[in-house]
Amino acid sequence: MGRLRWRRTPHPAAVGSPAWRGAAAYGALVAVTAPWLLGYIPLPPGSATPVPTQTVAAFHRIILPDLAVVDSAGVSQPSLARIAKVDGVRQVLALDGAQLTMGGHQVNVIGVDAQLYRSWTPLRTASNQRLWNALASGGFVASRSARRELGLQAGGSYAVTGAATVTLPYAGSAPLGVRGIDIVVAAQASARLGLIHNVIALISAPSLSIRKLRREVRAAAGVPARDLVTLRQPTLTAAATPTGTPTTYLQLFQESAAQYCPGLPWTVLAAIGQIESGDGTNMGPSSAGALGPMQFLPSTWAEWGITATQWGQTGPPNIWDPWDAVPSAARYLCAAGGATPAGLPGAIFAYNHANWYVAEVLALARAYAQDFGGPSP
């Protein structure tokens, strides 16, 4: 996954907070609105106002970004509207953010709508209902690296300084999908901290080439090329592979389905790869111990993992290697019935035991079929 450079804003007085640094995050179109208030929980010491208790609705989808617009003055609403109308663009996210201070450290903070932003995080993070409820109720979520650097402890509350100093309860840490995000807060805390409004716009447009997407978005937003950051992972790379080896995940999904499970729509394999790891972006380990681009449990890998010798792979099956992992996933799905339309839902359920997961994989597979002309499940 690419990086977003957080630059200094030319209008610090307008936002009352320091500017971005490092690399930022990704998401879907978000409107920061007043939250649904269900009740109150006691304030941590030092907080100024009650923290509302919220319950975030069930998680239903995963979306990955292809491109980001980073504007230190904030991306305007007309620009966001024009970006959303670009042919092939499916989702757009605007995120507030700034570089703030916590415990003497500078931290990259983004402000989000928890209900919507969770779809843009890794699957295991998005599925953590407790974490998202705590975020929506006024807590903050930290990346794992920020948790270590800041010494965050479960049950603790910590002061964050931006336009004001706000004490927030620590909701927990989790992989956030891309390097550079330190802290995630919800809309209420974002407003109190004075984060820069719409400093990032993130875009999902899987059917467009990156070159065309960059050209169209640059024209729509009226920004220089330096404000565009490519997030899509473009190719697979290996030290030495024979001629004909897949060089993109798309090719690898197509050829693995054809060779290891004739009848399995490659679009289903692609959907699983995107949902599980963002096509190798989030390799784990997950909280359950799943590893690699297709997120196999080691016990499952021991039974179903193979070495794809036709693509130059050697040695024992490597759970981290996409050329081994994707064919192994096709083989596993085939054994579970994925080669037939009647057996396909059960095979997907065997991969991840959740009905919402089956529905999401099938919906995303149909989107792949529409965008790339593949078989629709």
**52: helix, strand or coil:** strand
Do 278 and 354 fall within a single domain? yes
Q: Is residue 5, in this structure, part of any structural domain at all?
A: no
**168: helix, strand or coil:** strand
Is residue 183 within 8 A of residue 146, CB to CB? The reply is yes
- The pLDDT of residue 43 is 28
Q: Is residue 241, in this structure, part of any structural domain at all?
A: no
SS3 readout for 207-274? CCCHHHHHHHHHHHHCCCHHHEEECCCCCCCCCCCCCCCCCCHHHHHHHHHHHHCCCCCHHHHHHHHH
Is residue 141 within 8 A of residue 181, CB to CB? The reply is no
- The pLDDT of residue 11 is 27
Cβ-count burial of 165 within 10 angstroms (0-12 exposed, 13-18 middle, 19+ buried)?
A: middle
Measured distance CA(282)–CA(27) in Å, rounded: 15
- The pLDDT of residue 38 is 20
| Residue-range definition of the domain harbouring residue 344 | 249-372
Q: How many domains does the chain have?
A: 2
Do 170 and 25 fall within a single domain? yes
Residue 319 maps to which CATH number?
A: 1.10.530.10
Task: Report phi then psi at 306, rounded to 5.
Answer: -130, 160
Do 199 and 280 fall within a single domain? no
Q: Is residue 3, in this structure, part of any structural domain at all?
A: no
- Tens digits of pLDDT across the chain (377 residues): 444 444 333 222 222 233 333 233 322 222 222 221 122 222 233 333 334 456 776 666 667 778 888 888 889 999 999 999 999 898 898 989 889 999 999 999 999 988 888 877 776 777 788 899 999 999 999 998 999 999 999 999 999 999 999 999 999 998 886 667 899 999 889 989 999 999 888 888 877 778 899 999 999 999 999 899 887 765 555 544 555 677 778 888 999 999 999 999 999 998 898 888 877 777 878 778 889 999 999 999 999 999 988 877 788 999 998 889 999 999 999 999 999 999 999 999 999 998 988 988 998 888 788 777 778 88
Do 262 and 159 fall within a single domain? no
- The pLDDT of residue 236 is 59
How far out from the chain centre does Cα 294 lie? 15
Measured distance CA(255)–CA(266) in Å, rounded: 8
How many helical (H) and strand (E) elements, i.e. helices and strands, does the chain have?
Answer: 14, 11
